[in-house]
Structure 1
Amino acid sequence: MRSGEPGTGNRESEKQERSTSGSRRFPRGVLFDLDGTLLDSAPDMLATANAMRVERGEPAMELEQLRPFVSRGSRAMVGAAFPQLDAEARAALVPVFLAIYERELGHHGAPFDGIEAMLAEIEADGGRWGIVTNKPEYLARLLMPVLGWESRCGVLIGGDTLPERKPHPMPLQHAAAALGLAPEDCVYVGDDKRDIEAARAAGMPSVVALWGYRVPGDLPEEWGGDVMVESPHDLLDSARWPARAT
């Protein structure tokens, strides 16, 4: 809901009342991974990989063949699409992958079920949220207007925004500071081991998003996250968030 629309005044009053009454239900700041956490971007990635495969005379691959690799980045997805190529040949295809992905961006994927309701609850509670992803920043920013998040996302850090990327803590520390908060006053939600490692190194409570993308053999219970949740709908329950961040 944009400012000036019916009901905006009531919602802003509710935010102010919650933030001043000490009855906060959700963390003051929530930072999210993007692919596999907020956004089911695997269909966009599949369209990209299959465009490349068709151009090279290969049959289309199925979504479930690519899906586990989406959170691992473009190199991993190129490797899944072309397992017969050596590392050097795969690396040479990464710019091609990114160029085609820019064309397919936002045309096939969508936020996971429950994400929009969760973001609305965080906002209604007076909290702020942002995104810390290893996706190149320019691609992440192109998605914001497609998703209607350009005026709602308080900070966006991409994999090339800073000198370091996850699992280094710098992106999370920088994002928390941009929200005007200490790392311990935020929560990071992610679906990959690197997300949880980055949060732990930053001194930030973390939530393991079990609905995301994982390769066979991943053991999220060993990542050291503060909380593990099966669905974005679980996070509508304020009791499911790490207690020290609320």
Structure 2
Amino acid sequence: MKYSLPQAVLFDLDGTLLDTAPDLGAALNRVLAAEQRPLVSAEEYTPLASHGSAGLLRYAYGDEFEQRRDELRSAFLAAYAANIAAHTKPFHGVGELLQQLQQRAIPVAIVTNKPHALTAQLVPCYPEFAHIQVVISGDTLAVAKPNPEPLLHAADLLQVDAANCWYIGDAERDIEAGRRANMFTVLARYGYISATDQPEIWGANAMIDRPEELLELWSE
């Protein structure tokens, strides 16, 4: 099915624009190694990467995570910030997609649950994002996704009605936030989706298996 061009496109960051799993997993393993605990394989941590520090640490530490949440999260974030872009790269096709959006004069925003300090450190590492002026982080507002407010705030800054925006993400919280914001939602199936997830019931308006497929959804 083809759809009319949106007036703005909003993207999640981890698992949608950037493949951050290698550096997130490395940070997790540095925390584990410091305590002489078994490391977590890429096959294990990659599907969890969209769930951030809490999801990764909860997987590795189980019930102990809740008892040591602040301590472990602090250690993880320090390890991650120290090597935030060592192996992280845009997914193949992201640069072309953003270039095409720019050529069409369609404004772009990033709406992520990543803390501002890390987002501000990471995004400038990639020239593909240089023209993106609106970046909303997980602590920009008092609420984060799946609350729709961060998406609505981005739309306001872009001066585009939310109903004329598309939101692309790889997690259930992304689709929920987009739907609640009355945006057209697109699930990035190439992102961090685990074997136990059920993306077919999340209610996305469309799904893509590679970033460039977004362009194929539009009737010019």
TM-score by length of 2: 0.93
Q: How does 1:90-101 map to 2 (within 5 A)?
A: 90-101=69-80
User: Is it true that 1:231 corresponds to 2:210 in the alignment?
Assistant: yes
Conservation of the 8 A alpha-carbon contact between 1:26 and 1:122: no
Conservation of the 8 A alpha-carbon contact between 2:57 and 2:65: no
Select the residue among 140, 145, 155 that pairs with 1:161.
140
User: Is it true that 1:60 corresponds to 2:42 in the alignment?
Assistant: no
In structure 2, how many angstroms separate the alpha carbons of the residues matched to 1:150 and 1:167?
Answer: 24
Q: 3-state DSSP class of the match of 1:178?
A: helix
Provide Cα deviations, 1:31-83, integer angstroms capped at 9, x if missing partner. 00000110100001111011111111124321111011111121111122333
Q: How does 1:1-246 map to 2 (within 5 A)?
A: 26-83=5-62, 85-149=64-128, 151-237=130-216, 240-241=217-218
How has the CA–CA distance of structure 1 residues 150 and 32 changed in structure 2, closer, same or farther, with 3 Å as cutoff?
closer
Q: After the TM superposition, which of the residue ranges 44-53 and 228-237 deviates more from structure 2?
A: 228-237
In structure 1, how many angstroms separate the alpha carbons of the residues matched to 2:95 and 2:60?
Answer: 31
In structure 2, how many angstroms separate the alpha carbons of the residues matched to 1:168 and 1:201?
Answer: 8
Conservation of the 8 A alpha-carbon contact between 1:167 and 1:195: yes
Provide Cα deviations, 1:14-44, integer angstroms capped at 9, x if missing partner. xxxxxxxxxxx74221100000110100001
Q: 3-state DSSP class of the match of 1:232?
A: coil
In structure 2, how many angstroms separate the alpha carbons of the residues matched to 1:182 and 1:200?
Answer: 14
Q: CA deviation at 1:90?
A: 4.1
Q: After the TM superposition, which of the residue ranges 112-121 and 72-81 deviates more from structure 2?
A: 72-81
Gaps of 5+ in 1: 1-24
Q: CA deviation at 1:172?
A: 0.5
Conservation of the 8 A alpha-carbon contact between 1:38 and 1:112: yes
Conservation of the 8 A alpha-carbon contact between 2:95 and 2:128: no
Provide Cα deviations, 1:93-112, integer angstroms capped at 9, x if missing partner. 01111111101101111011
Q: CA deviation at 1:150?
A: 5.5
Q: After the TM superposition, which of the residue ranges 155-164 and 87-96 deviates more from structure 2?
A: 87-96
Conservation of the 8 A alpha-carbon contact between 2:134 and 2:157: yes
- Between Structure 1 and Structure 2, how many residues are aligned? 218
In structure 2, how many angstroms separate the alpha carbons of the residues matched to 1:41 and 1:151?
Answer: 18
Provide Cα deviations, 1:118-174, integer angstroms capped at 9, x if missing partner. 000000111111100001011111112211256311211111000111111100000
Gaps of 5+ in 2: none
Conservation of the 8 A alpha-carbon contact between 2:108 and 2:134: yes
Q: Per chain length, whose mean CA-contact separation is higher, i.e. which structure has more relative contact order (CA < 8 Å, sep 6+)? A: 2
